[in-house]
Amino acid sequence: MPVPLSLTGRLVRLEPLAPHHASGISEAAAGNRDDFAFTPVPHGVDEALEYVAQALSGHAAGTSLAFAIIAVASGRILGSTRFTRFDYWQGPLVWPLVHGLPPGDALMAVPDAAEIGNTWLSPEARGTGINLESKMLLLQHAFETWRVRRITFRADVRNHRSRLAIERLGATSDGVRRAHSRGLDGEVRSTAFYSILEDEWPTVRATIEGQFSALPVRNRLIDA
């Protein structure tokens, strides 16, 4: 299963989510709950502790790897994101074994495909480059360290802000699964799916780097 590790960029550091992050997660999630209409976000310290506990359980089960999003300059927690839905096509976590390939060590297995999701940011961190660099760090690790074949994104079709952010990365639309699941508001939701393939990564990386370099570094969350 993927090993927890920190990923650091110019503006943001992604740290594997841990109990000591709960207070900062709670602070980042404070405010207008309408800002978090489409993504599960904890409300208060108790929910933040449960949020972290569930994330740790997901990693122990080999199904996800969650991070706290932290501003490098200020040390403030600004939100969370994660790898999830790991897909293994060969190796020790696949049965039957692929002919001609050694079984390997299950504890060291890395996925052939994965999803990036459950991303949320405090409202004041939006539009600052924090989300863009967070995605860059995750994608770079997935494609250049794990050597995945595909990264998937998904969003409630009504979540136009999230869909636009995914599309700006250069991800390709894989269509909409209608009446896919129940949304946080209790309504049946349709889900838009996107993906980036390994041979598309160099182009996507150049796109993200261009967008990032064009952003003004103006937010005190970054400068502080």
- Put simply, whether the predicted model's pTM sits higher than 0.85 gets the answer yes
Query: 105 — phi, psi (to 5°)?
Result: -105, 120
Separation CA 51–CA 80 (nearest Å)? 10
Higher pLDDT, 55 or 100: 55
CB within 8 A of 59, min separation 6: which ones?
1, 4, 16, 65, 66
| Helix, strand, or coil (residue 154) | strand
pLDDT at 126: 82
DSSP sequence for 76-113: -EEEEEEEEEEE--SSTTSSSPPTTS----GGG---SE
Q: With bands split at pLDDT 50, 70 and 90, how would you rate the model's confidence at 32? A: confident
Between the ranges 96-105, 120-129, 203-212, where is the mean pLDDT highest?
Answer: 203-212
* 156-179 pLDDT, tens digit each: 999 999 999 999 999 999 999 999
136, with CB counted inside 10 A (0-12, 13-18, 19+), is buried
**Average pLDDT, integer, range 112-127:** 92
For the stretch 64-116, pLDDT in tens is: 999 999 999 999 999 999 999 999 886 655 555 555 555 444 555 789 999 99
pLDDT for the residue numbered 137? 98
Check residue 146 and report its DSSP letter: I
pLDDT band per the 50, 70, 90 thresholds, residue 151: very high
Q: Which CATH number fits domain 7-217: 3.40.630.30, 3.30.70.20, 3.20.19.10, 1.10.390.10?
A: 3.40.630.30
DSSP 119-132: EEE-GGGTTTTHHH
Facing residues of 80 across strands? 68, 120
